[in-house]
Structure 1
Amino acid sequence: MASSAVDIEGNRRSPSLKETNEKGITSNTSPESASVRSVAPGDNTHRTLKSRHIQLIGIGGTIGTALYVQIGKGVLNGGPASLFIAFTLWCSFILAITVGMAEMVTYLPISSPFIRFAGRYVDEAFGFAAGWNFFIFEAAMVPFEITACNVIIHYWSDAVPAGGIIAIMIVLYGLVNLLAVKWYGEVEFWAAIGKVLLIVALLFFTLVVMLGGNPLHDRFGFRAWREPGAFVELYHSGNLGRFLGFLQCLIQASFTIAGPDYVAMAAGEAENPRVVMPRAFNAVFYRLTAFFVLGSLAVGILVPSNDEEMKLAFSSGAPGAAASPYVVAMNRLRIRVLPDIVNAMVLTAAFSAGNSYVYCASRSLYGMALEGKAPRVFLKCNAKGVPVYAVGVVLAFALLAFLQVSNDAAVVLQWFVSLMTVSQLINFSVICVTYLRFHAALKAQGVDRGTLPYRARLQPFAAWYGLVGCSVMAFVGGYTVFLPGKWDVPTFLFSYAMLGICPVLYVGWKIFKKTKIYEPEEVDLLKNLDEINEYEKTYVPTPSE
């Protein structure tokens, strides 16, 4: 542990970053370069992810099929204006979460950072519950994307059985994730570039066709906002119905838009993280905001809320991108070939997203094992620094995708969406609570936030804003099951299961380990800090590839 500094009253406090780096001049090291070794005792992962990998991983992990296909449900449920407002509003919550995450992770860029911070800054039992919630969330996303890939492939043909596609996907994920982490980074880098190119192309497509650049020469502009209208009544008539339509869009946005957690999970395997991570957090937020806000605007322009083709596609569980508002618009405008290209690119997006979830889920399990909150067997890494048993467990979790062999794929997808929405909101709430305790600890221990590698603005108000928004949405997400005639046991369980499981995990670990909630003065801000500072001093950039 780093030597502590002493304040004017003689109390122990954490040193500022300037104090811990007084001797910090970058120097060369032996061939055993710090850039390819871990910086924390017991951590056997390798720091081989470059800046370009980190920035694209955050985008790749967030942009899946939801941005291209499921987003169309928002138009049907709430109308184009509700969808646009909901996505714009939710991006403000993501910003609040991102800046807090960035400050903590750049201060101490270790493996599975925010999961471990929850235990260090709040309560070990809190970290236990947070870690397993995040693991379940990420692991459940893997079969979700595999199911999506199966549906996308069947857009072209039913010749390949669902079971065969699922098996192939699991094998591919295994190959990519069991190789050196740099190869995972390369796969995600190029796949994420494809996703970015696709959404940019679709936004450009929207601009061109709305201005009349289509085979029908229809200059439709914002016609769908006027007829049938900008807002849709859902479940009820009048203002209540329009509000419920907006609420449904907000729930969808809370599932669709993420990002900072994926960037953070790569902190322990990033080269020169205190330089790379701040740029990555900023870039990912602004890019994702642009893609999701503009994407929600685009689909509301392209397809009216009463479009029969899109309604039928969603109600019947039509394969692939058939339900995508972009494909629906292409069909209406009699544009050929492009729907097949979109479907192919959406398949790439789904595969890439699932690949990111395998990585994040396995690293969350590895991080918990480092903290003693998961079996130590998950600490086992191969020669390339990959936690092999953790990856194996996640791939076993992916077998849940075989549920769609005997159930309607649309139903299975909806189950996973319900489970993941509430888990993601709990995860965001955990991050906000953790940051509030981190902020309080810095203040109580006399650490000047101006010395940190990254200082978030509007704190701690931004963290409170994010906490309130995410907590409320976690309870609101499954509200439809309480409406007259809407009760459905599987939907209720998948919507609220984690809200019941997390407190049980917290209380159980607290009783078993007799943990306590830390006072700000008791929070250990120094653990692993020596190793990070030493890594910075001895860091030698690896040659560009």
Structure 2
Amino acid sequence: MTLDIEKKVQAVDVDDVRSGEVQDVSSGTAHLQRRLGGKEVQLFAIGGAIGTSIFVTMGTYLPKSGPAGLLIGYTLWCMNVWCVNECFAEMSIYAPVPSSFITTTSYWVDEALAFAQSWAFFLCQAFLVPAEITALHILLTFWTDKMPVEATVLIVLAIYGVLNCIDTALFGKAEFWLSIAKVFLVFLFFAFTFFTMVGWNPLGDAYGFRYWNNPGAFSEYLTTGSLGAFWGTISVMTFASFSVCGPEYISSVVGETKSPRRILPSCFASFKYRMLIFFVGSALCIGIVVPYNDPSLAAFIAGSATGSGTSKASPYVIAMERMNIPGLPHLVNAIMITSLLSCGNGVLFAASRALFVMGQAGRAPGIFGRTTKRGIPIYSVAMCLLLGLLALMGLSDTAFTVLKYFIDLCTVCAQFNYMCVCITYMHFYWNLEAKGIDRDTLPYKARFQPYASYVGAVAAVVAMVALGFDVVAPLDVKWFFIDYTLLGVFPVMYGVVKVVKKTKYVRVGTADLGLGGMVKEVDDYEDVVVHEPEGGVERLFSGLWEWGDLVRWMRRLKVED
């Protein structure tokens, strides 16, 4: 039994839609409005993915794996997330409604599974808010250790409240500029790595791939020899299952995206390039600039670093100070802070929208399904801000330990959501076949299907089970419960809802592929809306610039001269 969980949007005049005065038609959920353009969605996808994992915590896994293990682990996991991305893409572009990947689970698989999935996604995003604040406080300690944790938490939450409670358009503009700062910083790190490794540094030291030879390409974790190198690479993959993300952020805003059928295909199609550049590229650079046995990095991980400078979890800052580069560490640290602000802002947006849809669907208290007249889910935003206060745990534990708590909790939630998305895609694929619908007629046809969904689902299960492989023998009770409690909670949620609400599994061939008329609403909207032209920024970040664009640009410059 599926639930009619979304209220239909009131009818609007077609001329108003064409003129752009009405942008919320076919939003799929009452009162949410389509105000995000192509560049905002592209940069939101980038902003949600680039944050703590790349700038701070990726380096903490270098001592376990070594540079080669770090690069291999990230590359392998990125290949898996590409498979998951293809599942998100085809379904979200076909049905661009709020929290589309959860709504489709309800209609095409089972409302009980959608209930557990919605809580998994919400908790993942909600736990990321205090995680980003904790990481931001770590960066502040680069200048001083006198800044109270309470002050950092309250100031950052106040900023998030302003950006998320006033207007969706304001959120989009803020995310646009903050995400540009992230992209700039990533390429600054790449340039720093290249120029310093060839000798362009104050020491004149062309260190190249020195640290791949001494102390070595692989570290040893848990045991020695080749088996130790293997476990080190596995540990990287468990962390990559937390840090490599992105398609869920695009899917979380499809219901508020202008012209979704035009904008979304390039957003999803370019995801593979973003993974290659931002995640694999960062893993390569981090293994170049510092050795895996660096004492500053080890002190931060152990929690023994004290005083200002304890933010040296970033390998780039460590390398800059080692090379006596004045000023640059301060600039980089400042930009990293704005980047973490952007990431926290993005995940709070995603969490509040997920809770909003849960409130309307009866998966959370109904008050969370209410909005202001301007379409802001104010109560959902307020709850997510309150959960951000969990960052105050840093008062009693070391910052890195608190960060690790949130990372492990988010990993289970994220992989459970990925598993559900892949299962839902399988049912979508099988229902299309059963109903005789050619996938070539869909707005977007994903590659490698249905095999990509099989790979994604299996990998998600393995990631959840293997998350605490290094705390089992010998058994660390605290970390065992942190790593595996939610893995037991979500199936219990599914079973309770199954019994209490008496939901039924949607048999293949009987699913409502129209989602109760919402897909038709999107079709009608796309037929009448006047698409805004694709801008240069959107084309750049969607990976669609071609050599022809460059040639035409050069010719125009020549003519103007």
**If the length of structure 2 is used for normalisation, what is the TM-score?**
0.89
* Larger mean Cα displacement after TM superposition, 327-336 or 497-506: 327-336
**CA–CA distance in structure 1, aligned partners of residues 255 and 415 of structure 2:** 24
* Larger mean Cα displacement after TM superposition, 312-321 or 166-175: 312-321
Alignment partner, residue 448 of structure 1: 438
Cα distance change on mapping 1:328 and 1:518 into 2, 3 Å: same
- Quote how far apart the aligned CAs of 1:40 are: 4.8
Cα distance change on mapping 1:446 and 1:31 into 2, 3 Å: closer
Q: Deviations over 1:47-82 (max 9, x none)?
A: 000000001101101111220121112221100000
Cα distance change on mapping 1:339 and 1:437 into 2, 3 Å: same
**CA–CA distance in structure 1, aligned partners of residues 165 and 220 of structure 2:** 49
Q: Deviations over 1:274-322 (max 9, x none)?
A: 1111111122331232111111001111111111122122222656641
* Larger mean Cα displacement after TM superposition, 468-477 or 151-160: 151-160
Pick one of 490, 502, 510 that aligns with 1:514: 502
Alignment partner, residue 395 of structure 2: 405
Alignment partner, residue 208 of structure 2: 221
* Larger mean Cα displacement after TM superposition, 28-37 or 229-238: 28-37
Pick one of 292, 297, 321 that aligns with 1:331: 321
Alignment partner, residue 556 of structure 2: none
**CA–CA distance in structure 1, aligned partners of residues 22 and 279 of structure 2:** 35
Alignment partner, residue 7 of structure 2: none
| Aligned partners of 1:366 and 1:387 also within 8 Å | yes
Instruction: Report matched runs for 1:16-165 at 5 Å.
Output: 28-29=15-16, 33=20, 35-40=22-27, 42-165=29-152
Cα distance change on mapping 1:40 and 1:58 into 2, 3 Å: closer
| Aligned partners of 1:45 and 1:269 also within 8 Å | yes
| Aligned partners of 1:104 and 1:435 also within 8 Å | yes
Cα distance change on mapping 1:489 and 1:32 into 2, 3 Å: farther
Alignment partner, residue 458 of structure 1: 448
* Larger mean Cα displacement after TM superposition, 83-92 or 39-48: 39-48
Instruction: Report matched runs for 1:222-301 at 5 Å.
Output: 222-301=209-288
Cα distance change on mapping 1:87 and 1:268 into 2, 3 Å: same
Pick one of 406, 424, 428 that aligns with 2:414: 424
Between the two proteins, the alignment pairs up a number of residues equal to 518
Alignment partner, residue 525 of structure 1: 513
Q: CA RMSD in A?
A: 1.8
Pick one of 385, 395, 413 that aligns with 1:395: 385
| Aligned partners of 2:28 and 2:98 also within 8 Å | no
- Quote how far apart the aligned CAs of 1:159 are: 3.3
Cα distance change on mapping 1:427 and 1:317 into 2, 3 Å: farther
**CA–CA distance in structure 1, aligned partners of residues 163 and 27 of structure 2:** 25
Q: Deviations over 1:133-153 (max 9, x none)?
A: 111111011011111112212
**CA–CA distance in structure 2, aligned partners of residues 180 and 392 of structure 1:** 15
Instruction: Give the secondary structure class of the aligned counterpart of 1:29.
Output: helix
**CA–CA distance in structure 2, aligned partners of residues 63 and 538 of structure 1:** 36
**CA–CA distance in structure 2, aligned partners of residues 144 and 41 of structure 1:** 31
1:438 aligns with 2:438: no
**CA–CA distance in structure 2, aligned partners of residues 216 and 38 of structure 1:** 61
In the alignment, residue 235 of structure 2 is paired with which amino acid? Q
In the alignment, residue 479 of structure 2 is paired with which amino acid? T
- Quote how far apart the aligned CAs of 1:458 are: 0.8
Alignment partner, residue 154 of structure 2: 167
Pick one of 175, 189, 197 that aligns with 2:176: 189
- Quote how far apart the aligned CAs of 1:375 are: 2.3
- Quote how far apart the aligned CAs of 1:451 are: 0.6
- Quote how far apart the aligned CAs of 1:41 are: 5.9
Cα distance change on mapping 1:190 and 1:235 into 2, 3 Å: same
**CA–CA distance in structure 2, aligned partners of residues 407 and 320 of structure 1:** 14
Alignment partner, residue 3 of structure 1: none
- Quote how far apart the aligned CAs of 1:28 are: 4.1
Instruction: Give the secondary structure class of the aligned counterpart of 2:31.
Output: coil
**CA–CA distance in structure 2, aligned partners of residues 30 and 185 of structure 1:** 21
Instruction: Report matched runs for 1:307-346 at 5 Å.
Output: 307-316=294-303, 318=305, 321-346=311-336
**CA–CA distance in structure 2, aligned partners of residues 30 and 88 of structure 1:** 44
**CA–CA distance in structure 2, aligned partners of residues 41 and 90 of structure 1:** 33
Alignment partner, residue 543 of structure 2: none
| Aligned partners of 1:115 and 1:368 also within 8 Å | no
**CA–CA distance in structure 1, aligned partners of residues 28 and 54 of structure 2:** 40
| Aligned partners of 1:59 and 1:284 also within 8 Å | no
1:377 aligns with 2:367: yes
In the alignment, residue 450 of structure 2 is paired with which amino acid? P
Instruction: Give the secondary structure class of the aligned counterpart of 1:322.
Output: coil
| Aligned partners of 1:432 and 1:464 also within 8 Å | yes
In the alignment, residue 496 of structure 2 is paired with which amino acid? G
* Larger mean Cα displacement after TM superposition, 313-322 or 381-390: 313-322
- Quote how far apart the aligned CAs of 1:463 are: 0.7
- Quote how far apart the aligned CAs of 1:544 are: 9.8
**CA–CA distance in structure 2, aligned partners of residues 40 and 164 of structure 1:** 38
Contiguous gaps of at least 5 residues in structure 1: 1-25
- Quote how far apart the aligned CAs of 1:417 are: 1.0
**CA–CA distance in structure 1, aligned partners of residues 409 and 385 of structure 2:** 18
Q: Deviations over 1:228-249 (max 9, x none)?
A: 1111111101222111111111
* Larger mean Cα displacement after TM superposition, 302-311 or 194-203: 302-311
Alignment partner, residue 21 of structure 1: none
Cα distance change on mapping 1:357 and 1:30 into 2, 3 Å: closer
* Larger mean Cα displacement after TM superposition, 295-304 or 33-42: 33-42
- Quote how far apart the aligned CAs of 1:516 are: 1.3
| Aligned partners of 1:260 and 1:285 also within 8 Å | no
| Aligned partners of 2:67 and 2:217 also within 8 Å | yes
Q: Deviations over 1:417-445 (max 9, x none)?
A: 11111111111111111111111111111
1:365 aligns with 2:352: no
Q: Deviations over 1:470-508 (max 9, x none)?
A: 110110011111122xx3333112211211110011001
**CA–CA distance in structure 1, aligned partners of residues 426 and 280 of structure 2:** 28
| Aligned partners of 1:34 and 1:539 also within 8 Å | no
Pick one of 182, 204, 226 that aligns with 2:191: 204
| Aligned partners of 2:24 and 2:33 also within 8 Å | yes
In the alignment, residue 77 of structure 1 is paired with which amino acid? K
**If the length of structure 1 is used for normalisation, what is the TM-score?**
0.92
Q: Deviations over 1:313-336 (max 9, x none)?
A: 222265664121111111221212
In the alignment, residue 272 of structure 2 is paired with which amino acid? F
In the alignment, residue 346 of structure 2 is paired with which amino acid? S
| Aligned partners of 1:96 and 1:462 also within 8 Å | yes
| Aligned partners of 2:125 and 2:351 also within 8 Å | yes
| Aligned partners of 2:69 and 2:218 also within 8 Å | yes
**CA–CA distance in structure 2, aligned partners of residues 320 and 279 of structure 1:** 40
